[in-house]
Structure 1
């Protein structure tokens, strides 16, 4: 039995995307505040830069996957691709709504103003968990087992 990959750019992009999200969202986001001398405003300023960069990198991976899907004429509404389309939708929502809203809240803290209570961080973290799970499922589906020794 061998394993074939029809969409190598998509495979690399999916697993790199997962790695970036796990590293930034699940580790760097809270770990930076443990460093000596990091104040809340300084940590938030760093976080704004890092998450803006992460968002741009995520779009690069997403576009690479879309290009690969289109070039291989993959059906866009199959069960397999829904596992990719959901993270794409969540990335869009994060880009147009969640990140700007979180950025505005961070700016308030940086300016020494306390914003009202919000669940935005929970929404963002939940979206990250869903993206990672879906991307892992999608990435696994990009591998195809073949059995060259048997006739079909």
Structure 2
């Protein structure tokens, strides 16, 4: 990889990683602990925040993949970029629709305890995979410049 594309790829990757860590592992669980935040209010906020996060992630994924593709990157760099992007795609195409249906029901007045969903667990598991892939990708990109 050339130094410029490696620098861009590293910056984009670590920005993406930071956003995922801040929103998924800090904001999302903590908002429900705030005084006065009910489950419906928290879900409404969460939907807006995650819609924005996922849009930003999609843009960052395209930028990261474009940057790592320049200049014949090592296979590991391409593979890690693909893992992160495919994981995001899986979240958006398969898990988020299930989460949206569940939050629609709660926002329509259904008791959240009536229908437990494993979709959140799947989303968190995929977030952990994505975090690991992004961390490894960022480190691998930086190693190409050494």
Scaled by the length of structure 2, the TM-score of the pair is: 0.88
| Residue 125 of structure 2: aligned partner | 126
> Offset at 1:111?
0.8
Q: What 5-or-longer segments of structure 1 have no aligned partner?
A: 147-152
Task: Please say if 1:106 is aligned against 2:103.
Answer: yes
1:117 & 1:79 partners in 2: Cα distance? 38
CA contact (8 A) 1:14 1:65 kept: yes
More strand by share: 1
Q: Out of 52, 55, 78, which is 1:81 matched to?
A: 78
Structure 1 residue ranges (4+ consecutive) displaced by more than 2 angstroms after TM superposition: 69-75, 114-117
What is the CA RMSD across the aligned residues, in angstroms?
1.7
Aligned to 1:142: 141
Q: Which runs of 5+ in 2 are unaligned?
A: none
Shift of 1:145: 5.7
Question: 2:69, 2:78 within 8 Å by CA — same for their partners in 1?
Answer: no
